[in-house]
Structure 1
Amino acid sequence: MSASPPAPPPIPALDGTLGDIQIALVVATWLFGIESLQTYNYYTQFPKDSVLLKGLVGAIWLLELGYTIVSWHAMYVITVTFYGRPQHILAPPLSMVFPIFFNALIAISVQTFFVYRVKVLSGKWLVPLICCAMNLARLGFNMLLFGKLSQKPIFTLLTTTFNWEIIVVSSIGPAVDIIVAASLIYYLWDRRKTDFKQTRGMVDTLIIWTVETTLLTTLSGVMQLVLFLSRRHDLSWLVFFLIQGKLFSNSLMASLNGRTRFRAVPGTALGFNSTTNAGQNVLPSFKLLRNASDTNPAHNRQTW
């Protein structure tokens, strides 16, 4: 009687590897559903926005769709195609690398959108140029990681060969968010110096809005960096990396759709400059009441 085949090696605990990735993908897919709903609401509520702005919204949604497809393809391959072969968790299929590419494009698009607000509100270029340089550096490091991991998609390389690149990428994102939020709050607070109670109340609302649209992306980036530095033995930091693009896109859509809360405010007209004529802004304006307009209530028109 022939001997029975040897028992397969036991599958190691997957809580800190596959479990983390699965949680991240479920949350990311849920956030994609919210972003899709917000995108639909945007196109129905703001049909007069500029073609460039509507194109940005559509492009980000397509990037999110691509991200969701490749992520779940990778999860299917790891859990079904390679079932019982845990070595493929740390050496996943190529589709698991593509979220780096999609996240990089989403992050730079959304952060540039918010950086532009600082330029419009302040009328100065220094802070926006610094933020743009940091964004380009982050994009470059992300594309470097994408290119290298595309050749050899092994997660352990992230904590060995590409250790400092991950630290730089994880640090730049929150830094830009904090600089943008602090700059907007500073210039908004300066506009608050007026005798008009209605204007002060609106500026307070805009300050809260600014914090709301940057808080989650900042916290996500900080948590990603902290976990990467403190838990090198597992992939828990990937949870925040894999949902970060969704947080960026949802913060953009919340900012765009949030304009509806100002429509009921008398004496104001907050909207995006949607004209595309020469000399006109095709990106969203972020102009508050100036001191000159405060002297004439009939001119109290604001553009967000």
Structure 2
Amino acid sequence: MSSPSFDADSTLGALLVGTLVSYVLFGVTTTQVYIYYDRFPEDSSKMKAMVASVWLGELAHVICIGHSLYVMVITDYGHPERLAHIPSSLFAATFVGGMVSAGVQSFFAFRIYILSKSLWIPCICWAMSLFRVLPSNIVTFSYGIHEPLGEFIDKWNWLFDTVWAISAANDLLIAISLVFLLYRQRNYTLKRTTAVVNKLIAWTVETGVVTSAAGIIMMAFFIINRASFIWMAWFVVIARLFSNSLLASLNSRASLRALQETVVLASTPPVSATLERPMDCEQSIEMNKMSITTYNP
């Protein structure tokens, strides 16, 4: 990359903005992790270990992108031609971010299995998550570290386009499957118990759309202008979106339980009516319990 054609705004500037946003979201992630351990001490050790591993992965990710930015902006200051070889720490961030994203997708795919008791869609989602991690990281560590960035992207852009497209499709498949399964469950609940399931559906749509839209936007910038780092700015943010969607999903159980109690209290008939129709109230409570239980991991 020659100095006359160097554009600091679309390269280092874009990466700086993406890194700052990523750091802010890491603060949100850390806060959500604290809330999770404070509110759900009764969760299984496996679930707690998963949350801890996601946070540690995010910590490693922010350290790697911070080191990469420091090398590009400070160590290589005044030498834009060195941007042709990006720091190896950014490749490490690519691996860690891919593992976190694939892990979160796998978790939601497992939730599909819990709701459907079928392995067809979860297996497809797991295969797509695996494809997100393996090919791109194998190629990156085999060729990307040794080749100039421009040549590496020109040679392997088709692979990254495919990986990111499949990842976005995986997010949509997971969201659509969860919404369908929750909506089907909604049809079997009483009218006064549908508020909890409706909330689950809304949150599922929101989290699925955010991660999928971010992946599509990143891929669009990559296709339009690979020479800039705008796509890279989105890339360092996406891992944080996945971890926050996971933690928001886990922490939302407190709100769902509060909503469940409100619905049950509001739908509980007077004492005289309860004596006449005891099974109606019991059925309402059981339907609410089923909504929360099937949503929980």
Normalising to structure 2: TM-score of the pair? 0.86
Rounded to whole Å, the distance in 2 between the matches of 1:294 and 1:147 is: 60
Task: Tell me which residue corresponds to 2:18.
Answer: 24
Task: Answer whether contact 2:32 2:251 (CA < 8 A) is retained.
Answer: yes
Q: In the alignment, is residue 297 of structure 1 matched against residue 292 of structure 2?
A: no
Rounded to whole Å, the distance in 2 between the matches of 1:234 and 1:150 is: 17
Given residue 121 of structure 2, which amino acid in structure 1 is its aligned partner?
A: V
Task: Tell me which residue corresponds to 1:246.
Answer: 240
Q: How does 1:1-304 map to 2 (within 5 A)?
A: 12-149=6-143, 151-152=145-146, 154-194=148-188, 196-264=190-258, 265-266=260-261, 296-297=283-284, 299-300=286-287, 301-302=289-290, 303=293, 304=296
DSSP 3-state at the match of 1:92: coil
Task: Answer whether contact 1:121 1:187 (CA < 8 A) is retained.
Answer: yes
Task: Answer whether contact 2:192 2:263 (CA < 8 A) is retained.
Answer: no
Rounded to whole Å, the distance in 1 between the matches of 2:211 and 2:153 is: 22
Residue 267 of structure 1 and its aligned partner are, at CA, apart by 8.3
Higher helix proportion: 2
Task: Answer whether contact 1:194 1:294 (CA < 8 A) is retained.
Answer: no
Residue 149 of structure 1 and its aligned partner are, at CA, apart by 4.7
Rounded to whole Å, the distance in 2 between the matches of 1:210 and 1:113 is: 13
Report the RMSD for the aligned CA atoms in angstroms: 2.3
Task: Answer whether contact 2:14 2:229 (CA < 8 A) is retained.
Answer: yes
DSSP 3-state at the match of 2:7: coil
* Unmatched tracts of structure 2, length 5 or more: 265-279
Given residue 296 of structure 1, which amino acid in structure 2 is its aligned partner?
A: Q
Worse-superposed segment, 31-40 or 191-200 = 191-200
Query: Residues 38, 195 of structure 1: CA spacing in aligned structure 2 closer, same or farther, 3 A cutoff?
Result: closer
User: Percent identity, aligned pairs only?
Assistant: 33
* Unmatched tracts of structure 1, length 5 or more: 1-8, 270-292
Task: Answer whether contact 2:193 2:284 (CA < 8 A) is retained.
Answer: no
Normalising to structure 1: TM-score of the pair? 0.84
Number of residue-to-residue matches in the alignment: 274
Query: Residues 40, 240 of structure 1: CA spacing in aligned structure 2 closer, same or farther, 3 A cutoff?
Result: same
Residue 21 of structure 1 and its aligned partner are, at CA, apart by 1.1
Task: Answer whether contact 2:91 2:141 (CA < 8 A) is retained.
Answer: no
Task: Answer whether contact 1:28 1:246 (CA < 8 A) is retained.
Answer: yes
